[in-house]
Amino acid sequence: MGEDRRLDVLRAIVEDYVATREPVGSRALTERHHLGVSPATIRNDMAALEEAGLIVAPHTSAGRVPTDLGYRTFVDHLSQVRALSAAERRAISTLLAEAVDLDDVVDRAVRLIAQLTHQVAVVQYPSLRRSALRHVELVAMGERRLLVVIITATGRVEQRTLELAEGVDEAAVARLRLRLNAAAVGLRLSDLDRVRERLVEQVSAGIGTATSAGDADLVRTVLDAIAETLAQESEERVVVAGTANLARSADFALSISPVLEALEEQVVLLRLLTEMAEDESAVAVRIGREHRYEPLVETSIVSSGYGDGVAVARIGAVGPLRQDYPGTIAAVRAVARYLTRILAG
Amino acid sequence: MGEDRRLDVLRAIVEDYVATREPVGSRALTERHHLGVSPATIRNDMAALEEAGLIVAPHTSAGRVPTDLGYRTFVDHLSQVRALSAAERRAISTLLAEAVDLDDVVDRAVRLIAQLTHQVAVVQYPSLRRSALRHVELVAMGERRLLVVIITATGRVEQRTLELAEGVDEAAVARLRLRLNAAAVGLRLSDLDRVRERLVEQVSAGIGTATSAGDADLVRTVLDAIAETLAQESEERVVVAGTANLARSADFALSISPVLEALEEQVVLLRLLTEMAEDESAVAVRIGREHRYEPLVETSIVSSGYGDGVAVARIGAVGPLRQDYPGTIAAVRAVARYLTRILAG
DNA sequence: GATTGGCACTCGGTGCCGGTGAGTGCCACC
DNA sequence: GGTGGCACTCACCGGCACCGAGTGCCAATC
């Protein structure tokens, strides 16, 4: 029973098609891969693979091309992720280590992925919801405006301006800053919601002498603002690089513009990445129609979480269906790992 | 002397070619524009225009197409910027007014330009060098690390972490924060360099009691950091939107990927925009080879400064040579004006 | 029963050919 | 200077024959 050989044939078809972009025929297969059987036998296997929905012929009298399902099978069972060379690993490591701040790390990472995979790279900023609070800074800006700056353990800074109902006292702001930091620093932002009421008590009790009612209000307002900032998922930024690789691939039947449009929609990217988070530290792959998003049916997404402990955010590569999956997976995994290491250090 | 009519012919050619993407011939011209002369006459004019380098024939026995120089002449002498309708203006105005913070303003502006012009939109963040300082926030982060947060009048926030030679005292940081803000707030960042030494004296004199030498060092370090942040031009962010419009235009002979590459290079975009700042409040146009940057020879850039008083930064639209210049110019100008208004308010 | 060689058939790709039509340049004329 | 006329050019299109890669099927073979 040729079950094994059939999968060998599938692997060979995927590899050849990825390499040449030509539909691959039975003769070519026997020539380039030592399968030990004749073209006629391959043809039988191909008929079976087509029956199973793993390959299709673009037209009669042409070779075969893998389907989404064919690539899926290849990725799941047939490819072994080839490790990067020591030199490559060292290059990634030093490039990332040279970054001067978080923005720079993210920028370098996204360019790195684009360059290694020859695809469109996507990097999500370390998530606010998940990373711990390092500092909250309050700045009075005129009469009744308060600037809240939230600093996370990963070095990310978020800001928000509040319009206050009543005027604020410089000194009260200073006291609040002190208390708030004492009470809330170290908390994961996702925990903040749960412990909010306790914090309000803790903090405002500490501040108040006379105006303790007003202080409690102030604390609540500030915490609300922090919570709201977090709730606003749009604050979770995604950066993209390597869109030029799309245009070069020339694999898109219609046009690349729907893909480019999708890549400009932070919300969409964020959703796609988030949906791939079933196993956060592993590399996940979505092929063609698997991610249910029409404009990207002609693309695959390879993505991994990164960050310490629980993954904090995700990186990924968006490219054509016809791509070097083992290579992409290896690159994405490597960058995710080094990114995790850099951010922890 | 048909000098006038010749330019009419050029205008007609540009308009028809922009509308149809077909090289335009003498007969078509007489039919679509009431020039009052016969095709044969037009042919003579066209020969003269070709002689002058304003139009070319892609091949013998084809119509004519404008050259870079032809578009330039059209833009400079032949087109009248058509005003946007009241409804359009109102739409722009309210869309921008709904923005909740600076990031949102920029994001809305760039999308707006992309949508109005059907081209790639580019918006430079209000420049750090030029805008005034609203607040400096210092945050001690452990032993000898200090986070400096710079807040500008336009609401932009920049951060930087300093490694200090000697440990810092919480109280000293608080005093420094106070003094520094008292002394430096309101200064344009570009002035900072000049008055730095005076500031060092002013501020550290105010802080010090015993450790005034160490304090002066601290002040200098912080000011250095601020200055360095400013010097680092890469901090001047540029955001891009509407790259999908490129793919749709189908006007690019080779491929759009060099253009996409260029658009990802902040530094390049920044340089191109900056070079167009000869008259900051007016709209400037660079056509094809005029901007000496090889990957963009097949594109034109329409750009305007925006911001209060002295222009603070620039916006622009990058698109194919064959484009509706009057429309693009009108849209860019309108958005720049409303942007200026919003930021001032 | 799996494998194989043989064979007829399909069909996309290429090159050649002639016709068509838009467009030009030029020239003689007004 | 403007115009009508005319010969010429050349991209484009449809038709056609040919080539070759590739298939499916079948009978023969291991």
Whether B258 shows a pLDDT value over 70: the answer reads yes
B42 pLDDT above the threshold of 90: yes
Sheet containing B133-140: give its strands across: B133-140, B145-152, B157-163
Q: What is the pLDDT of residues B6-35, one digit of tens each?
A: 999 999 999 999 999 999 999 999 988 888
Residue B155 to chain A, least CA–CA distance (Å) = 9
Once rounded to an integer, what is the mean pLDDT over residues A84-108? 90
B174-B175-B179-B185 Cα dihedral, nearest 10 degrees: 0
Q: Give dist(CA A323, CA A337) in Å, integer.
A: 22
* pLDDT score for A345: 63
Of the listed ranges A170-184, A194-208, B33-47, B231-245, the one predicted with least confidence: A194-208
Is the pLDDT score of B210 beyond 50? no
Q: What is the pLDDT of residues B56-104, one digit of tens each?
A: 999 888 899 999 999 999 999 887 888 889 999 999 999 999 987 788 8
Express each pLDDT in B91-125 by its tens digit.
999 999 998 778 889 999 999 999 999 999 999 99
- The whole-number average pLDDT for the span A208-213 is 50
Nucleotide nearest to B39 (CA to C1'): D3
Strands B299-306 and A65-66: unpaired
Query: What average pLDDT does range A303-324 have in this prediction?
Result: 87
Task: Give, for A315, the enclosing helix (H) or strand (E).
Answer: strand A313-320
CA of B35 to C1' of C25 (A): 21
Q: Is the pLDDT of residue B345 over 70?
A: no
Whether chain A has a CB inside 8 Å of the CB on B151: the answer is: yes
Instruction: Report pLDDT digits (tens) over B279-292.
Output: 777 899 999 999 99
Distance A61 CA to D16 C1' (A): 21
- Kindly state whether A265 is in contact with chain B, defined as any CB-CB distance less than 8 angstroms: no
Distances (CA, A) of B134 to A313, B128, B131, B154, B307: 33, 12, 9, 9, 16
A154 touches chain B (CB under 8 A): no
CA–CA min distance A110, chain B (Å): 12
Minimum-distance nucleotide, CA of A41 to C1': C3
**Which has the closest alpha carbon to B189: B155, B223, B230, B148?**
B230
What's the pLDDT band for A318 if we cut at 50, 70, 90? very high
A113-170 tens-digit pLDDT: 999 999 999 999 987 666 777 778 887 776 777 888 887 777 777 878 787 777 777 7
Q: Residue A69 contacts by C-beta under 8 Å, 6 or more apart in sequence?
A: A53, A54
Of the given ranges (A43-57, B161-175, B244-258), which has the lowest mean pLDDT?
Answer: B161-175
**Residue B39: what are its φ and ψ, rounded to 5°?**
-50, -40
The distance (Å) linking the CA of B15 with the C1' of C22 is 20
Do B260 and A241 make contact, defined as CB atoms within 8 angstroms?
no
Cβ contacts from A onto B, under 8 A: 71
Specify the higher pLDDT residue, B36 or A108: A108
Residue type at position B110: V
Question: Residue with CA nearest D4 C1'?
Answer: B40
The residue whose CA lies nearest the C1' of nucleotide C5 is: A40
Q: How confident is the model at residue A17 (pLDDT cuts 50, 70, 90)?
A: very high
> Residue B84 gets which letter from DSSP?
P
CB nearest to A244's CB, from B139, B159, B260: B260
Mean pLDDT confidence for B332-344: 91
Share of chain A above pLDDT 70, in %: 92
Lowest mean pLDDT among A11-20, B36-45, B227-236: B227-236
CA A244 to chain B, closest CA, distance in angstroms equals 4
User: A234: pLDDT confidence band, cut at 50, 70 and 90?
Assistant: very low
Residue A334 confidence (pLDDT) above 80 = yes
The position carrying tokens 């050849």 is A16
Q: What is the pLDDT of residue A210?
A: 45
Q: Angle formed by the axes of helices B212-231 and B170-184, to 10°?
A: 60
Give the mean model confidence (pLDDT) for residues B245-259: 87
Query: What is the gyration radius of the CA atoms in chain A, in angstroms?
Result: 26
Q: State which amino acid sits at residue A28.
A: A
In whole angstroms, C6 C1' to A32 CA is: 23
pLDDT of residue A190: 72
List the single range of A72-76, A118-122, A212-216, A252-256 with lowest mean pLDDT: A212-216
pLDDT digits over A193-208, tens only?
777 778 787 777 665 5
Compute the average pLDDT of residues B307-334: 89
Taking the C-alpha atoms of residue B130 and residue B311, their distance in angstroms, rounded to an integer, is 9
Taking the Cβ of residue A21 and every Cβ of chain B, the question of whether any pair is shorter than 8 Å is answered with: no
Q: Does residue B220 sit at the A interface (CB-CB below 8 Å)? A: no
Residue in B242, B301, B309, B245 with CA at minimum distance from that of residue B274? B301
The pLDDT-based confidence of B234 (bands split at 50, 70, 90) is: very low
* Closest residue, chain B, to A136 (C-alpha): B139
Question: pLDDT by residue (tens digit) across B145-202?
Answer: 788 888 777 777 788 888 777 777 777 787 888 888 888 877 877 777 777 788 788 7
Which one of A125, A254, A264, A266 would you mutate to disrupt binding with B, by most B Cβ within 10 Å of its Cβ? A264
Which of B141, B155, B257 lies at the smallest CB-CB distance from A247? B257
Q: What is the pLDDT of residues B306-316, one digit of tens each?
A: 987 655 789 99
Q: What is the pLDDT of residue A344?
A: 75
Name chain A contacts of B110, Cβ cutoff 8 Å.
none
3-state SS class at B279: coil
Note the pLDDT of residue B157.
79
DSSP state letter for B76: I
Strand D closer than 7 A to residue A5 Cβ = no
Q: Is A231 a residue whose pLDDT tops 70?
A: no
Q: Verify if strand D has an atom below 7 Å from the CB of A39.
A: yes
pLDDT for position A214: 63
Query: What is the pLDDT of chain A when averaged over all its residues?
Result: 86
The pair of three-digit structure tokens given for residue B117, joined into one six-digit string: 């012009």
Which residue does chain A place closest to B248, by CA atoms? Answer: A257
Angstrom distance (rounded) from CA A149 to CA A152:
10
Q: Closest nucleotide to A29's CA, by C1' atom?
A: D22
Of chain A, the end-to-end C-alpha distance in Å amounts to: 54
pTM of the complete model: 0.84
CA distance A146 to A223: 13
